[in-house]
Chains A and B, each alone.
Chain A
Amino acid sequence: MTKRNILLYTVFFIVITASFSLLIPETLRQMEGSDFFTYSSDFWIQKISNAPGVTGWLSNFLLQFFKWPLVGMMIMSFVLTLTAIFCGMLPQAMGRKGFPELSLLLPLFLSTFVLLNMNVYLQAAFFFCALLLGIHIKRPLHKSIFLLLFSIVGFFLICWPLLALTIIFIAGEAYFRNRKPTILIVGIVSLAITIADVYISNALFGFLPFDHRFFYSPIPDINTLEFITIFIISILLVMIPIKELKKWKSWIPFAIMIIATCVITSIQLHREDVIHTEKTYLYAKLSDEKQWTKLLSTIPHEETLESKLPMCYALLAESALGTLPDHIFDYNIFDPEQFLFRHELKSVSCLFNRQFYDNLGVYDEAFRQAFEYGVMSPDGTCFSSLRQMTHYAILMGNYEVANKYLDILDNSTLNGSWVKNERQLMNKHKKPNQKLPIVKDTFVSVYQFNSEMIRQLQVMPKNRKALDYLLLGLLMQRQLDKFSIIIHAFPLYKNQPLPKAYAEAGAMLAQAPKLSLHNAFSYSSELDKQFLQFYQMQQQNKDPNTFVNYYGTYWYFYFFIQPAQQAQEEQGRAVNS
């Protein structure tokens, strides 16, 4: 390998590592969160039963290092760079001139179209490593032994199409070099062994799906033929016998590849879906860290008007800060069901819903949402889910479950210090004294949002966040009479100025003596006059555009925003029977 190529691979490694870790750090961090790894036989069997098993296991092991995005990305870039190096060394191993700079194209392709997929990257690295080794071995006997051994070992490292390609390539290259048919026979036997591997693995380990046995692509959206073609083209490209360039011209391929790396990486990391994912995980992280002010300032207000998830996060931050009743009508929410993602079983919905119930102090539901999030991860559970469930279990005083998860996490590679801290927390934590009923009608996601909140309030009558959600839900549904009853029944706002939305609702109720808030709560009587003025204007002029000054008030919402359709009473959730 020339010094220039060493420099090329080094620059590639640095560009990939730096750009990913700088531009999408939260997406990288989340890769550790949705990963799972433990040194247990159950986990090993689970991984080994899916071909290629060892790579699957190793991939999960390495993903743990994304706990530190830079370290994780260094490992991933290293795997991609190794792929390029092995690929670039093929011509030399075959005694040919080639174009090793083009070996960067495959890693670039993989990092673009198979974004952050450690398993596929490892397979590519193993494939080229095996090719290089197989070609390097010159003695026919050693090559034959290598082929026969790799037909077994390779089954656990790379998918069958790559395994077959490796054997065909090595045996073919050796045959064309020496014209001895023995190596072809060894190649055919090795191929036969790879077929036997599939059936033996299916018999000894878990079931290998029919469409995941021979001709399949490990890359979603790319069929087997395309997948194989990509690898064949990568090999052919580095074999192009390029004429040696002199002086500064010799740097042209180098410069082109570096520019290509920078441009492609930049385009890819500025894709809308990549940015959206990064933002989601950033909001989630700030929310988990309870950095509510920072979260609010991070979410652009226009984004909250266009998309539900940013709005939900902004409203969650407002609730946590206690400012929800002041700012609610600045947002594009018109139905209390929109406070969270009810009845949605997507991982991002579960992620948010967990934080919603965590903020509300309903830890059993936060635990459940963390559980569902874990179930939806590739391995059926994941580190972030386990850590969150542990934490909620401790808060609920369920130390047996917490201990179970702590033991499992302790059996991974990098959770030791977290486990230690959490055990200390558990030792200090006082088990809740409250004796819980065995069953009680406090179902979550069964009733409409407002009905659910009233049930939560009955259990937690001093929970101001739940009260806010209920009161604001009632206001959104224009149920001012119920609003008045509830705010009186749960007098958490007594002896303090009412927040904006409640005061504005109070002004609307001022004319109804039985429902008026004036006796029990304090807000400026000037607001009553302002409302009367607004009301008189509204009666004469129904055009909302003339009331832009009132945007963000409950009055504007009440008179100009289309009422939401009443949600159907939910009857429960389907189960697996």
Chain B
Amino acid sequence: MQATFYVHNDLVLQANGGTYVKIPSKKWKQLLETNKGRDLTISVSAWTPEHPEGATYKPFRIHIDNSPIDNYVAYRLIPPGYEEWNRMGIFQRNLTSFDESAIFINTQNHSGCVNCHNFAWYNPQKMMFHARGPAGGTVIMQGDNIEKINLDSLGPKKNGTYPMWHPSGKYIAFSSNITKQSFYSHCRDKIEVYDLKSDIIIYDVMHHKVLADKRFNDSINWETFPAFSPDGKWLYFCTAKAKLMPIKFNELHYSLIRVPFNEKDGSLGAEIDTIYSAAKEGGSISLPRISPDGRYVLLTWAGCSTFHIQHKDADLMLIDLKTRQIIHPKNVNSNDADSYHSWSQNGKWIIFASRRLDGMYSRLYIAPFKNGNFGKPFLLPQKDPQENKRRLYSYNIPEFIRAKVVLSKDKASALFKVN
């Protein structure tokens, strides 16, 4: 196999390989650096026993963007499960190479579930995640200081599920969910993940306190997937009228609201601003993520319910917070589930999970973003492209981070020691 790279018809690189082309890393980085903002035309030729004389595919073009992307992305690797799991963990990938390393794997917490990692404003030194099982809890890492807290033993005694760290690093908003799942038969979707209860709580990281606003802690409405605005002044979350689950699952429609957040004391303001009304616009939304400039909110939309990565009709949806215009970015969405997404720190890129490859195993896609429009997404590159097809794990919760997370395996594991 051979690939030739041209810029303005000038040959700039040639690379060879067996079943896939191996591009020398140094030359590739050099090529990108010297050709920023230009188009690269690539021509691929292959020689097979059936075609010993070789065949050349139609050339294609890729654009080298001027905007940099964060160096690392953290994600969870998990079997695309139903009820049980065996191995899972939170991993990080260097986006300037193919290096992947584990941040925390579930052999460190007696094979318990590891989930919902989050960072304070892309800071790899301020990270949190839940690790369940014996001696389970929520791990909060701040630089060299790593601690495990049990949210359900603090304040209102509620568990923490989906998190979002305040950009200041002083608070973490959690939804507190009792989550279940049921399994479809004879449907395009296979699993329905739903809540039997969900509220919003705020954890004060400095003072180890949990705050709960009564308005968002009742049994009439369910609130989930909190997200802070980048300036830290608003807390966004999804809310829906509680339904009898799973029987009324298709009557469950989440809207998006926001309330002012007071950074001084962690309280929520009186105003409730509805950004997306499911009753008016239809469907159900989840996972709001605000662009770093505060202008847009990127959501996942599906026909009903809350856990959209399991819904084949799930698509990414953008709302311009200035004009309240709803944008359905067709060029990033697919016929399969397109869900968990996060913005790069400069707001020029998004990374999201999609099941478009095979409908079951979610893979990561990166798409550029400019002036309210997304560019064509591309699959997270792997050294061996077959890796994206053959890996028996799903990628989940991709979060951009500025640098590598350094978390001592032994120190983290010691938190889960059981006598």
Contact = CB atoms under 8 A, between A and B. Distances in A.
Contact of A443 (B79, B182, B417): B182
Most buried by A among B183, B196, B312, B386: B183
A439 B185 contact: no
A241 interface: no
B148 interface: no
B385 to A, nearest CB: 12
Given A372-B84, A376-B86, 8 more contacts: A202-B409, A206-B102, A364-B185, A364-B190, A379-B86, A380-B79, A381-B79, A404-B360
A576 B410 contact: no
A37 to B, nearest CB: 13
Contacts of A446: 182, 246
Interface residues on B, range: 35 or more
Contact of B390 (A203, A207, A404): A404
A34 interface: no
Given A364-B185, A446-B246, A575-B193, A401 B359 contact: yes
Interface in B104-148: 105, 107-108, 113, 115-116, 132
Interface stretch (A223-231, A532-540, A566-574): A566-574
Contacts of A459: 185-186
A438 B183 contact: no
Chain A interface mostly helix, strand, loop or mixed?
loop
Interface in B165-195: 177, 179-190, 192-194
B108 A573 contact: no
A408 B392 contact: yes
A439 B358 CA distance: 19
Interface in B380-414: 384, 386-387, 389-393, 409-410, 413-414
Contact of A400 (B177, B186, B357, B387): B357
Given A446-B182, A572-B181, A572-B182, A439 B413 contact: no
Contacts of A203: 409
B390 A380 contact: no
B236 to A, nearest CB: 20
25 contacts: A41-B387, A42-B393, A202-B409, A207-B105, A209-B108, A210-B410, A371-B79, A372-B82, A376-B84, A380-B79, A400-B360, A407-B390, A438-B188, A439-B189, A439-B249, A443-B182, A443-B185, A443-B192, A444-B184, A446-B246, A573-B180, A574-B181, A575-B193, A576-B113, A577-B113
A116 interface: no
A576 B132 contact: yes
Contact of B83 (A202, A372, A377): A372
Nearest to B192: A439
Contact of A444 (B105, B107, B183): B183
Interface string B94-108: 000000001001011
B311 interface: yes
Contacts of A401: 358-360
Contacts of B311: 438-439
A398 interface: yes
A513 interface: no
B179 A575 contact: yes
Nearest to B193: A575
B87 interface: yes
A445 B185 CA distance: 10
Contacts of B192: 439, 443
B303 A436 contact: no
Chain B interface mostly helix, strand, loop or mixed?
loop
A345 B83 contact: yes
Contacts of B378: none
A375 interface: yes
Contacts of B386: 407
Contacts of A202: 409-410
A411 interface: yes
A365 interface: yes
A154 B413 CA distance: 26
Contact of A368 (B102, B190, B391): B190
B355 to A, nearest CB: 10
A38 B392 CA distance: 11
A415 interface: no
Contacts of A206: 102, 105, 107
B185 A42 contact: no
Nearest to B409: A207
B5 to A, nearest CB: 26
A442 B389 contact: no
Interface in A4-48: 38, 40-42, 46
B180 A408 contact: no
Nearest to A434: B186
The list of the 6 closest CB pairs from A to B, nearest first, reads A380-B86, A572-B180, A400-B358, A576-B113, A577-B179, A575-B181
B19 interface: no
A543 interface: no
Nearest to A393: B360
B161 interface: yes
A210 B304 CA distance: 45
A428 interface: no
B379 to A, nearest CB: 14
Nearest to A408: B390
A377 B245 CA distance: 32
Contact of B187 (A364, A407, A460): A364
A200 B326 CA distance: 53
Most buried by B among A202, A571, A572, A573: A572
A441 interface: yes
Interface string A482-494: 0000000000000
B247 to A, nearest CB: 7
Given A439-B184, A440-B187, A444-B183, A207 B108 contact: yes
Contacts of A379: 86
B354 to A, nearest CB: 13
Contacts of B177: 577
Interface in A548-577: 571-577
A398 B359 contact: yes
Contacts of B305: 439
B34 to A, nearest CB: 32
A209 B358 CA distance: 35
A469 to B, nearest CB: 14
Interface in A328-367: 345, 362, 364-365
Interface in A393-411: 398, 400-401, 403-404, 407-408, 411
Contacts of B269: none
B325 interface: no
B188 A437 contact: yes
Given A364-B187, A376-B86, A576 B182 contact: no
Most buried by B among A202, A401, A573, A577: A577
A460 B186 CA distance: 9
A456 interface: yes
Contacts of A365: 183, 185
Nearest to A375: B84
B83 A577 contact: no
B180 A42 contact: no
Nearest to B181: A575
Nearest to A436: B188
Contacts of A443: 182-185, 192, 246
Contact of B189 (A38, A42, A372, A438): A438
B85 interface: yes
B87 A572 contact: no
Contacts of A460: 186
A554 B340 CA distance: 55
A576 B194 CA distance: 12
Interface string A165-206: 000000000000000000000000000000000000011001
A442 B392 CA distance: 27
A459 B387 CA distance: 38
